[in-house]
A and B are shown apart, each in its own frame.
Chain A
Amino acid sequence: MAVTEEALLARIARGDLVEGPEYATQPYIDALKRTLIVSADTELISAPSYLRAARDAPSINSYISATGIIQDELGHAHIAYRMLRDLGVDTDALVYERDPKDFKHPYAFDVPLDSWTELVVANAFYDRAGFLLLGDIFRHTTYGPWKRALAKVDREENFHLGHGEKWMRTLSQDPKGKTDLQHAVDWMFLLTIEWFGLPDALKRHKEQIGYGLKGYTNDQLRQQWMSTAVPLCQEVGLTVPARHDAEHNEWVITCPFPARFDERQKSPGMTCWCDGSSAGPRTASLSARSSAGTRNWGDTSMRELDAGVVRAALYEILDPEYPVSIVDLGLIRGVEVKGSTVRVRMTYTSMGCPCTEMIQDDIRERLRALPGVGRVEIEVVWEPWTREHISAEGLKQLRGVGVV
């Protein structure tokens, strides 16, 4: 029996995942395929791009690190293509027979990376964008198979951006290295800003609203990216055209943008959003990169770090067994913020809880994604847990799934 749009939206509203095309409507599947193709193509195209620059690696060890990253990227592409194959897409035709102009990836990958410096900035910038975009899908998507598969991607992209950060800190110690970094950052910063796609106000694929394929909008993710990328650049003494506007609590770009990019000179100039009509066929992908869910997860990204922000983020973490937030379940017993260190005191429903490690991994991942968080400490206090600790909202949700 065909799934109706109403039944699909009710499933999503209940928090039940869509486990395959048989549980979705055609518009949902079309929106999902579009998002998957952008993800798959971006991961795939990053491999040759990174390999080109890896040849400039300063040592055999660093070359091996880079090829490890490249192998990861191919693995990530494989995940998204395999999702597409399971949706009935001919992925061989997609990979081997498609016109290269039809590949859907950010414009940034149309610009060759020429040096080790550009490669490590790509790790720190592009992989940070990938980490945020896919991390958002990993945490929020309503499509079950993708959500599960992204555990690998989320973990590895975090390593890639850490690799970039480490190398940027190392290279910035030396005056020549710092100059080269500044040149790379000068063109790569704006191209990564553009990576997140059209501003929310200009997005065209409105049909994805309501499907919750992802949780944050393009503009929210762009803000999240700037909230860690800009401080990194400032820390190593690099200048980037962005600053934090304390009054409006948002990151603002301080140069003409959107801008047309001179590929040969690798320098941004003036003009418009690459929306597919003005900047060549490859950037048509940016319009396909749209999509915003309607779930209100509360954008905690731009607020100053405090216990309230941490709690709001913890609220997004669901117990692996029941679709209830760990906060509503009464597992969180205290939150402290000291500088960039966040300390969470928590308990479990029983000593034999099989999900302890998974929940702690989720907490670390979510909190580390918050701006300003350096270290996450989790103390398991093994305080008694009873039904009385479940919030009214939690009880309501558990009743909804027939647990209490």
Chain B
Amino acid sequence: MQGEEIYEVFAARAEGAEPVKNVGAVRARSSREAAIFAHKLYDEWRWKEMFVVPRRALIHVIRPA
């Protein structure tokens, strides 16, 4: 849809010492909307921290062989 872009979702679980990891992606028209979608959609665990990052902002430095 018009004006939408993909945001990658990163989060760390509330329990344990697991680091932040990529848990999925959402499509949204703004970072605020992306945050809401991510919060609603990725609710399988309790998280202590969550980020959304526009996919275009990710720069691939090393790719798998």
Which residues in A have some Cβ–Cβ distance to B below 8 Å? 16, 19, 23, 75, 78-79, 82, 85, 92, 148-149, 151-152, 155-156, 354, 357-358
User: With A19-B64, A23-B64 as given contacts, are A354 and B42 in contact (CB-CB < 8 Å)?
Assistant: no
Closest 7 CB pairs of A and B: A152-B44, A19-B64, A357-B16, A75-B41, A155-B44, A82-B25, A149-B24
Q: Which of A23, A79, A156 contacts B24 (CB 8 A)?
A: A79
B25 / chain A contacts, CB cutoff of 8 Å: 82
Closest to A148 in B: B22
Q: Contact at B24–A82, with CB atoms within 8 Å?
A: yes
In whole Å, how far is B27's beta carbon from the nearest beta carbon of chain A?
8
Q: Contact at A357–B24, with CB atoms within 8 Å?
A: no
B18 / chain A contacts, CB cutoff of 8 Å: 354, 357-358
Per-position contact with A for B1-34: 1 when CB-CB < 8 Å, else 0?
A: 1000000000000011110001111010000000
Tell me the count of chain B residues lying within 8 A, CB to CB, of chain A: 15
| Beyond known contacts A152-B23, A354-B18: 16 more, CB 8 A cutoff | A16-B64, A23-B64, A75-B41, A75-B42, A79-B24, A82-B24, A82-B25, A85-B27, A148-B22, A149-B24, A151-B44, A152-B24, A152-B42, A357-B15, A357-B18, A358-B18
In whole Å, how far is B38's beta carbon from the nearest beta carbon of chain A?
11
Q: Contact at B17–A354, with CB atoms within 8 Å?
A: yes
CA distance A75 to B39 in the complex (A): 12
User: With A19-B64, A82-B24, A149-B24 as given contacts, are A156 and B44 in contact (CB-CB < 8 Å)?
Assistant: yes
